Amino acid sequence: MPTHTTVLNWTKKQGIGHFKEPSYYEREKWVLIADESIQFGNKKLLLVLAVPEQRCSQGKALCYHDVTPLVLKVSSSWKSDDIKSAIIQHIDIENISYCISDTGNNLTRTFMLLGCKHIADVNHKFSLIIQSVFENNDLLNHYTKSLSAIRAQKSMSKNARIVPPNQRIMNRFMNLTPLFEWGRKMLLLLDMNVLTKEEKEILSFLEPLKDFIFDTYQILIHLDNIQKLLKNNGFSDKTAREAILMFSNMKSDNSLKIKKQLEEYFADLSYKAEKKTVCCSSDIIESCFGKFKELSKSNKSVGISDMALCIAAILGQNNPDKTKESMEKVSMKQLKEWKTKNITKTLFAEKREMNKNMERCFCRKK
């Protein structure tokens, strides 16, 4: 029976087998999807995926087998010049049609340095739109503070059934829908008169906020539906018209502000798309990071190791012939060379080196 180490080495070989030579990308135009992971220990993982432009024009959500790993590299920080350097080592700029990422300064500047069109990821863009409209909204601040107080005071009480869901601190404007879904349900229960007297008292703050809650809930639901539309069908003039139509019956100040910013975002995308259907979602790369976090969560103290090759292993065309080719052609020497080039010292290795130095100093003093 092969050991777990052997199986892991097979997986790493498959990962390396999915990287392509620069000549591979000369055949057609490509779309790049880029992102960097959250901090693992003291390092960040840069991942850049390549997708044939023709596939992005089909108006369907991307799958793992559609994408090819272009860059998978670790560093303590990723500046725009470093990201640019990592990309041009693998693909000619002339073969890049456009790039998709969040609106982080380093990635945005990278694509500017490359002279490539940048498509802002719809998730992050919508989050920024919501933030610009609601960040300093007194009603929202009052509402979320009231929900926090209920969670703190009533989670372990007999009234726990009406406690609102937790609010994420990071990217909180991406996750407002559950809070307003809860508020809408509680208001409906109050109207139906099915709650206890004590529960009604706890929820009494909702009534003055009723119009705000229902309006904001409708805004968020429409934005969620627009995201699904754009993720599943891509952006085109047709999907833009369908999206704006969802706001046609909404007349509140906040909904009109949202609609105006959507129109500006779509106008920018339309200019960059040049009458074609383009992909505007980086969900595929978020999914890759999610799988890697799941693999590495059992031992976060190690940091980012060459186990990151598991990301590359799930991408591209996985079939018996490809797997056989990777097992036969990728050597253990190549694995070590890839690790030296792309993975810096792990947090575990740094700690081990520090302990060894400490032991040497201790022995000398003896």
pLDDT in tens, the chain (366 residues): 888 888 888 989 999 999 999 999 998 999 999 999 876 667 888 999 999 999 988 878 899 999 999 999 988 889 999 999 999 999 999 999 999 999 889 999 999 999 999 999 999 999 999 999 998 899 999 999 999 999 999 888 888 899 999 877 666 778 899 999 999 999 999 999 999 999 999 999 999 999 999 999 999 999 999 999 999 999 999 999 999 999 988 889 999 999 999 999 999 999 998 888 999 999 999 999 888 888 777 665 566 788 888 999 999 887 788 888 888 888 899 888 888 888 876 555 666 666 666 666 666 665
Bridge partners (DSSP) listed for residue 96: 30
Domain positions in the chain: 4-121+282-360, 125-273
Cα 169 from chain centre? 16
- The predicted pLDDT at position 73 comes to 92
Kindly report the pTM of this predicted structure.
0.86
Calculate the alpha carbon distances from 230 to 73, 87, 177, 227 in Å: 30, 27, 18, 5
**Locate tokens 């109207």: which residue?**
191
Query: In DSSP terms, which residues pair with 50 in a beta bridge?
Result: 32, 68
Q: Using alpha carbons, list the distances in angstroms from residue 48 to 112, 126, 296, 306.
A: 16, 22, 20, 16
Q: How far apart are CA 99 and CA 117, in angstroms?
A: 6
pLDDT value of residue 43: 81
